[in-house]
Chains A and B, each alone.
Chain A
Amino acid sequence: MTDLATLEQTILADIAAAGDEAALEAVRVAALGKKGSISALLATLGKMSPDERKTQGAAINVAKDKVTQALSARRDILKSAALDARLASETIDVTLQLREAPAEAGRIHPLSQVFEEVNTIFADMGFAIAEGPDIETDDYNFTKLNFPEGHPAREMHDTFFFNPGEDGSRMLLRTHTSPVQVRTMLSQKPPIRVVCPGRTYRIDSDATHTPQFHQVEGLVIDKGSHLGHLKWILHEFCKAFFEVDHINMRFRPSFFPFTEPSLEVDIQCRRDKGEIRFGEGEDWLEILGCGMVHPNVLRACDIDPDVYQGFAWGMGIDRIAMLKYGIADLRQLFENDVRWLSHYGFKPLDVPTLAGGLST
C-alpha cells in the first residue's frame, strides 16, 4: 500500500470516528487545512517532474475528493443526530388543559338572541324596526288605542302606575308594545310597515307571568292590506322562526279594543317529556293576538279609515323563546343564574342569519 493510500485510510477512519461536529472539524483541519496532511502532499507537487506530477497530482486529488465527500456525509449525520438529541430534550406535556377562549365562554341571553331572530325575519319581509319608551302616557297606552276610560278591557292589563303629576295626569309602564304603533302612525305617513320589539310590564307574578316581559308588535298600514295578508305573514313568520317546513295554525276570533276584527292565533304542537314538536299533536298553544287596526285607532292617529287600512299583531317574545328552546320556567329568564345562562344562552359568534340558519 502506498503512503497516500494509507493516509487516506487513516483520515477516513478518523472521519468515521468523529463523535461530534467539533471533532469532525479537527479532522478536516488536520487533513485539508493549511497545514493539513493532504494539503502538505499537494504542496510537494511543485517539486516533481511533469510526468510524476501528472500521476501523483491526480491520485492526491482523488484522495482529497474522497475525504471531502466523507466529511460532508459525516457532517450531515452528526448534524441530524445533534438536532434529534436537542429535540428529544425539548418535549412538552401536551395534555395540559387549554384556557377556555373568551368567545367560547361568553353568552348572549336567549331573549336577545330571539329578538335578533325575529328582527331578521321581519327585516327580510320589508319591515322597519321602531321603538318607544317604557314609561308611557295613559293616552298612548290606552285611550288612543280605543280603550275608553273605565272600560273593563283596561282591567285586562294590570297596570303599573306612577304617582300623578301636578296636572293630575299620571304616567304608567306600558302594558304592551302597542303605543309604539301610535307613535309610529303619528310620526310617519302610510304606507307603514314596522315591527316594534320591546319590554312591557304588568302586575303579575306567578309561574307563567313575570312583572316584566317582552313583546314584538307588528303594524302595516296602506291601502289594501287585509286579513289574508296578515295570516300569510304570521304563517311565514312561524315557519321561519320555529325552523320547520310546515306548521298548523289556528286563527280564532277574539277581542282587543284596538283591532276589529280581532284574532288570536294558536299553533299546533305535541309535548313529549318536555320537548315540543310543531306541526303535529293535539295541543293548541296560543302565541299571539292580532287583527285589523280599529278605525277609532286610525282616526286617533289622524289616518282616514275609509282610505287607509291595515293590521297589527303582538306576540310574547319570552313565550316564543321558551317554546322554541325548551325553556320550562319563565322566571328563569330573569334569575341570571350563570349555569342556566351558559346552558340556554348563545355564543357570541352564533349570529342569527337567514342565509346561515337562525339557530344553526
Chain B
Amino acid sequence: MKFTLSWLKEHLDTDEPLDKLADKLTMIGLEVENIEDKAKALAPFSIARVISAEQHPNADRLRVCMVDTGNGAAPVQVVCGAPNARAGLVSVFSAPGTFIPGKNITLGVGTIRGVESRGMLCSAAELEISEDHDGIMELPADAPIGKGYAEWAGLGDPVLEINLTPNRQDCTGVHGIARDLSAADMGKLIDPGIKPVKGEFPCPVKVTVEDATLCPGFALRLVRGVKNGPSPEWLQKRLTSIGLRPINALVDITNFMTYDRARPLHVFDARKVNGNLTVRRAKDGESLLALDGRTYTLDPSICVISDEHGVESLAGIMGGETSGCDENTTDVLIESALWNEINIAQTGRKLGINSDARYRFERGVDPAFMVPGLELATKLVMEFCGGTPSDTVVVGKSFGDDRIIDFPLSEVKRLAGIEVPLVEMRRILAHLGFMVAGSGPVVKVAVPSWRSDVHGKADIVEEVVRIVGVDKVPMTPFERGDDARKPVLTTIQLRNRRAKRALAARGMVEAVTWSFISKPHAELFGGGQAELALANPIASDLSDMRPSLLPGLVAAAQANANRGYQDVALFEVGQIFRGDKPENQFVAASGVRHGFASSKGMGRHWSGSAISDALDAKADAFAVLAAAGAPMQALQIVQGGASWLHPGRSGTIQIGPQNVLGYFGELHPRTLEALGADGPLMAFEVILDRIPDAKKKATRAKPVLELSAFQPVSRDFAFIVDRGVKAGDIVRSAQGVDKKLITDVSVFDVYEGKGIDPNKKSIAIAVTIQPREKTLTDQEIDAVAAKIVAEVTKKTGGTLRA
C-alpha cells in the first residue's frame, strides 16, 4: 500500500514530522517498508540560468557555459555536453560534492579537455525523475533562480510504502491509515462525513443478482451528460506519485476511491451497455477482453456482470474493454458492490490477475461503505465532469453485521501482561471507531463495519496493545518451575544427534540435501509412488519425496568431484519418505565414500594410501549403529544388499529377516549410471527408527566388573577353506566351542594366492582363552584347541593349515 505524506494529511491533521509518523506506523502494525523522499535526495539540486554557452576550444561536442546559480553568487563555469545547452536556458545545477543518483557518482571539480568545470547541468535521468537523458532539463524562464529544484517541482512529497498484513483491509485506503494514526496520538482524523447526492431521475438500468452469496450487495447509478477529460492536476499528481497512470477523470476517480477510501468502484460507459445488468456465474465458453488488453476464457466458477449481449466485467476484479469509459463517454454508470472474498481470491488466482480491486475485495471491503462510497464517487464525477445523477439502485439486504463483544477489561492484563487504565482503553477504541458501553468489569464493545478482522476478546486486546505499544509491555521472567531437570530429547532425536557426531568423528562431512528428488532417482531406491509425487514441483528434478538420502548424497559427491574434489566422504542424517502418513516417515543415516576417502586414512599419504571399499561403508554403518545404541551383539550380517548395491560387494544388517536395519556396500554400476555418477562409490544406509529400544534401566550404576585373577592364553589357528566360506562362520564356530572360556576370536590374516589352491583361501584366527577358576594345564588348553579345530573343520569343510 503506497501513499504520499500530503495525501495522508488530507485525512490527518498533524504536525508530526515524517520520521515520527513512519516509526509510529511501524510500531502500531502498519510496517513502513520504504520511504521514497525525493525532496531529501534532490535537496542539493538548484535552479540556474545559463548566461553564455561558448564552443569548447578542444572538443566539438562540448560547450563551456557560464551559469548563474542565483543568490548573488559569481557565475560558475561548467563544461556541458548537452546539445540543448544554450544562453538563456533555465535548467538544474549541481555543485561539486553532490551525489548524482542517476549516475551513482559524487561530482567533483573536473578539468575536461583542458577547461575547468565546477559543477554540472543535469538531465531528468540524472535526477532519476524520468528516463529522459536527451539533454539537460529545460525549465520555464520564470523559474526562480537559486531555489531548490525539488521543492519548486513539487517533488517534496515523500512516498510511504506499507507492508500491509492481510487482515487490515481498512488500511488499503489512506483514510483507514489516518484513523489508526489518530488513535496513536499522531493527530486528528479529518472526517467531514459524506452527503448523499440526490438523484434527479430513476436509474434506467435494472440489476438482477442471481446468487447473493457471490454478490451480497450491488449499488448502481447513472450520471448523464458528463464531459470526460483529464482529471484535475492534483488528482493526476496523486496517482502518479504512487505509480498509477492517470487515464481520464472517470477512471481516475475509481482509482482514487480505491486508494483513498479502500472502496474499489467500476465505471461503465452507459451507451456501450446493452439493456439491464445481471450478476451471474459465467457460462462455459464465454470470454472477455479486459481492460488490461488480455482476453480471459471464463467458466461457471467465475462471477461476472453481463448486459443483454454478454459479459461486460469480471466482477470485483477487472472491467471489460468494450464498455470502458473514454473521452467520448457522456453517460456513465457507476458501480459500487460487495463480492464474495473467497470467490474473488479463487478467480484472481485462476485468471492470474492481481488488480487493486481484487487485492481489496479478497480481503473484504467495508460493507457499510458500499452506498456512501457511491455517493462520494458521484459527487466527484459531477465536480470534475458535470452531469445529472439518477437515483441509486441498490440490490441486497443488510450491509454489515452488528458485532458486539462482551469484553472483560481484565483480558488486557491476562493476555498481554500490561495494565492499561480504562480511560485509555476507551480513548483508543473510540478513535479506532469502536463503541464502548458500560463501565466494567465487563463492557460491551461494538465493532465498526470496516474491521472485518475483529471477532473476539483477543482481537480487542490486540487493538489496545498495539496502540499502547508492544514495547510498553514489561518483560516478565518465565520461571521454569521446580520440576526435575530431565533430558528433553526423544530417543530418535538422540540417535540423530549421536549418529551425526559419530560419522563426523570418522572424518566424514555432513551434507544437507533436498527432501525432493527426480522421479527416476526415487524409483531407483524404491520410491516414486503416486502419493509421494508433488502436484506442483518447483522443477522436474525436484518432483518426488526421497525414499533414501543416497541419491542426494551421490549427486553431492559428484558435484564435488566436478569441482576437482574427488576424494570425499559425505554423510547425511535426515528424513526419508516411504508413504504419505506420519508413520511412513523415517530418519535415515547414510553416507558415501569415494576414492582415497577411506576410513583407514584419508587421502594419499606416505604411510600408506587406501582406496575406500565396501567394508569402509560397513564400518560407517556400524559406527552409526553403535552410537545410536543398537544391540551390537544381536546384529546379523547377511551377504548381499538392496538392489542398488553391487550384489557381491554388499551386505544387509538385520536383527532377524523381519527387521532390516540397513545396508552397506559398493553401489551397483547400474545405479551409478542412472545417477550419472563416477564410481566406484561406497555407500551405506541405516534407518534409525528400526533400532530396537534399549530396556529402561532402574539404576545408572554399571554392572559389577568381574576381573579374572588368571592370565588369558592366546592360540593361533590357520584354516584352509573354500573361497566361498565366510570368515564370520569360522569365528562363530570357534566361539561356540566354549562360550565361557573363549572370550575373543579375531581374524588376523586372510590369504589367497601363491602356495594355496586357487579355489581356496587361508583364514587365520587368534583365540583368547580366559581361565575362570584356575590356571589351565597344557593338556586342558590343548583339549580346547583340538575342539576348535574339530568344530571349524566340521562347520566349514576346511582343514587346519600345515
Question: With contacts A106-B504, A337-B559 known, is A226 near B476, CB below 8 A?
Answer: yes
Closest to B455 in A: A296
Closest to B480 in A: A126
* Nearest CB on A from B27, distance (A): 6
Q: Is A192 an interface residue (CB 8 A)?
A: no
Binary interface profile of B, 515-533, with partner A (CB < 8 Å = 1, else 0)?
1100000000000001111
Complex-state Cα separation, A232 to B474, whole angstroms: 9
Please determine whether A261 and B168 come into contact, CB atoms closer than 8 angstroms.
Answer: no
Q: Is B435 an interface residue (CB 8 A)?
A: no
Q: Which listed residue, A99, A227, A309, touches B605 by the CB 8 Å rule? A: A99
Please determine whether B509 and A345 come into contact, CB atoms closer than 8 angstroms.
Answer: yes
Q: Is B445 an interface residue (CB 8 A)?
A: no
Complex-state Cα separation, A12 to B725, whole angstroms: 71
Q: Which listed residue, A135, A211, A309, A348, touches B415 by the CB 8 Å rule? A: A309
Please determine whether A255 and B166 come into contact, CB atoms closer than 8 angstroms.
Answer: yes
Please determine whether A106 and B508 come into contact, CB atoms closer than 8 angstroms.
Answer: yes
Q: Is B462 an interface residue (CB 8 A)?
A: yes
Q: Which residues of B contact A295 (CB under 8 A)?
A: 456-458
Q: Is A300 an interface residue (CB 8 A)?
A: no
Binary interface profile of B, 528-566, with partner A (CB < 8 Å = 1, else 0)?
001111111110001001000000000010011001010
Q: Which residues of A contact B574 (CB under 8 A)?
A: 199
Q: Is B345 an interface residue (CB 8 A)?
A: yes
Closest to A318 in B: B512
Please determine whether B511 and A336 come into contact, CB atoms closer than 8 angstroms.
Answer: yes
* Nearest CB on B from A299, distance (A): 10
Q: Which residues of B contact A347 (CB under 8 A)?
A: 504
Closest to A183 in B: B582
Please determine whether B458 and A261 come into contact, CB atoms closer than 8 angstroms.
Answer: yes
Q: Which residues of A contact B492 (CB under 8 A)?
A: 131
Q: Which listed residue, A228, A233, A294, touches B418 by the CB 8 Å rule? A: A228
Please determine whether A99 and B601 come into contact, CB atoms closer than 8 angstroms.
Answer: yes
Please determine whether B505 and A103 come into contact, CB atoms closer than 8 angstroms.
Answer: yes
* Nearest CB on B from A311, distance (A): 9
Q: Which listed residue, A170, A199, A226, A336, touches B416 by the CB 8 Å rule? A: A226
* Nearest CB on B from A283, distance (A): 14
Complex-state Cα separation, A241 to B794, whole angstroms: 64
Q: Which listed residue, B490, B507, B512, B545, touches A102 by the CB 8 Å rule? A: B507
Binds A, one of B150-158, B259-267, B493-501, B770-778: B493-501
Binary interface profile of A, 142-161, with partner B (CB < 8 Å = 1, else 0)?
00000001111101100011
Question: With contacts A163-B530, A252-B31 known, is A134 near B504, CB below 8 A?
Answer: no
Q: Is B140 an interface residue (CB 8 A)?
A: no
Q: Is A356 an interface residue (CB 8 A)?
A: no
Q: Which residues of A contact B501 (CB under 8 A)?
A: 108, 348, 351
Please determine whether B513 and A334 come into contact, CB atoms closer than 8 angstroms.
Answer: yes
Closest to A96 in B: B606
Q: Which residues of B contact A341 (CB under 8 A)?
A: 509-511
Q: Which residues of B contact A124 (CB under 8 A)?
A: 480
Please determine whether B515 and A199 come into contact, CB atoms closer than 8 angstroms.
Answer: yes
Q: Is B293 an interface residue (CB 8 A)?
A: no
Please determine whether A162 and B534 come into contact, CB atoms closer than 8 angstroms.
Answer: yes
Q: Which listed residue, B414, B476, B503, touches A106 by the CB 8 Å rule? A: B503
Binds B, one of A32-40, A67-75, A109-117: A109-117
Please determine whether A150 and B417 come into contact, CB atoms closer than 8 angstroms.
Answer: no
Binary interface profile of B, 62-83, with partner A (CB < 8 Å = 1, else 0)?
0000000000000000000000
Please determine whether A255 and B168 come into contact, CB atoms closer than 8 angstroms.
Answer: yes
* Nearest CB on A from B637, distance (A): 23
Please determine whether A292 and B585 come into contact, CB atoms closer than 8 angstroms.
Answer: no
Please determine whether B27 and A252 come into contact, CB atoms closer than 8 angstroms.
Answer: yes
Q: Which listed residue, A127, A227, A262, A333, touches B488 by the CB 8 Å rule? A: A127
Q: Which residues of A contact B474 (CB under 8 A)?
A: 228
Please determine whether B475 and A228 come into contact, CB atoms closer than 8 angstroms.
Answer: yes
Complex-state Cα separation, A252 to B30, whole angstroms: 9
Q: Which listed residue, B456, B465, B488, touches A123 by the CB 8 Å rule? A: B488
Closest to B553 in A: A336
* Nearest CB on A from B434, distance (A): 16
Q: Which residues of A contact B568 (CB under 8 A)?
A: 338
Question: With contacts A254-B165, A292-B415 known, is A336 near B559, CB below 8 A?
Answer: yes
Closest to A148 in B: B342
Q: Which residues of B contact A228 (CB under 8 A)?
A: 416-418, 473-476
Q: Which residues of B contact A109 (CB under 8 A)?
A: 510-512
Q: Is B459 an interface residue (CB 8 A)?
A: yes
Q: Which residues of A contact B331 (CB under 8 A)?
A: none
Please determine whether A126 and B560 come into contact, CB atoms closer than 8 angstroms.
Answer: no
Question: With contacts A105-B602, A150-B341 known, is A252 near B470, CB below 8 A?
Answer: yes
Per DSSP, chain A at the interface is: mixed
Please determine whether B602 and A337 come into contact, CB atoms closer than 8 angstroms.
Answer: no
Q: Is B575 an interface residue (CB 8 A)?
A: yes
Q: Is B577 an interface residue (CB 8 A)?
A: yes
The B-contacting residues of A in range 291-349, CB under 8 angstroms, are: 292, 294-295, 305, 309, 333-339, 341-342, 345, 347-349
Q: Is A263 an interface residue (CB 8 A)?
A: yes
Q: Is B328 an interface residue (CB 8 A)?
A: no
Q: Is A250 an interface residue (CB 8 A)?
A: yes
Complex-state Cα separation, A161 to B488, whole angstroms: 33
Q: Which residues of A contact B497 (CB under 8 A)?
A: 116
Q: Which residues of B contact A232 (CB under 8 A)?
A: 475-478
Please determine whether A253 and B465 come into contact, CB atoms closer than 8 angstroms.
Answer: yes
Q: Is A231 an interface residue (CB 8 A)?
A: yes
The A-contacting residues of B in range 636-659, CB under 8 angstroms, are: none
Q: Which residues of A contact B581 (CB under 8 A)?
A: 133, 135
Please determine whether A102 and B505 come into contact, CB atoms closer than 8 angstroms.
Answer: yes
Q: Which listed residue, A112, A134, A155, A339, touches B500 by the CB 8 Å rule? A: A112
Complex-state Cα separation, A153 to B602, whole angstroms: 52
* Nearest CB on A from B119, distance (A): 31
Q: Which residues of B contact A208 (CB under 8 A)?
A: none
Q: Is B372 an interface residue (CB 8 A)?
A: no
Question: With contacts A126-B481, A129-B490, A227-B473 known, is A134 near B417, CB below 8 A?
Answer: no
Binary interface profile of B, 226-255, with partner A (CB < 8 Å = 1, else 0)?
000000000000000000000000000000
Q: Is A268 an interface residue (CB 8 A)?
A: no
Q: Which listed residue, B362, B415, B488, B513, touches A152 by the CB 8 Å rule? A: B362
* Nearest CB on B from A173, distance (A): 8
Please determine whether A100 and B493 come into contact, CB atoms closer than 8 angstroms.
Answer: no
Question: With contacts A126-B480, A160-B537, A228-B473 known, is A155 near B345, CB below 8 A?
Answer: yes
* Nearest CB on B from A190, distance (A): 13
* Nearest CB on A from B60, distance (A): 45
Please determine whether B478 and A229 come into contact, CB atoms closer than 8 angstroms.
Answer: yes
Please determine whether B476 and A156 come into contact, CB atoms closer than 8 angstroms.
Answer: no
* Nearest CB on A from B612, distance (A): 13
Question: With contacts A102-B506, A129-B489 known, is A160 near B534, CB below 8 A?
Answer: yes
Please determine whether B417 and A227 come into contact, CB atoms closer than 8 angstroms.
Answer: yes
Q: Which listed residue, B416, B456, B542, B606, touches A227 by the CB 8 Å rule? A: B416
Question: With contacts A116-B497, A231-B475 known, is A226 near B605, CB below 8 A?
Answer: no
Complex-state Cα separation, A109 to B342, whole angstroms: 43
Please determine whether A336 and B342 come into contact, CB atoms closer than 8 angstroms.
Answer: no
Q: Which listed residue, A112, A150, A203, A212, touches B515 by the CB 8 Å rule? A: A212
* Nearest CB on B from A247, distance (A): 12
Q: Is B167 an interface residue (CB 8 A)?
A: yes
Complex-state Cα separation, A349 to B504, whole angstroms: 9
Closest to B545 in A: A135
Please determine whether A261 and B493 come into contact, CB atoms closer than 8 angstroms.
Answer: no
Given A106-B509, A226-B413: 20 more A-B contacts, CB < 8 Å: A97-B606, A99-B602, A119-B488, A131-B492, A134-B577, A135-B545, A151-B345, A160-B536, A161-B535, A173-B515, A173-B534, A203-B536, A225-B478, A229-B477, A252-B31, A255-B167, A255-B168, A305-B458, A341-B511, A348-B505
A-B residue pairs in contact (CB < 8 Å), sample of 14: A107-B510, A127-B488, A133-B585, A155-B345, A173-B515, A228-B417, A232-B477, A251-B471, A261-B461, A261-B462, A263-B470, A338-B560, A339-B565, A341-B511
Q: What 10 pairs across the A-B complex have the smallest Cβ distances?
A: A228-B417, A150-B342, A253-B29, A102-B507, A255-B165, A126-B480, A228-B476, A106-B504, A261-B462, A348-B504
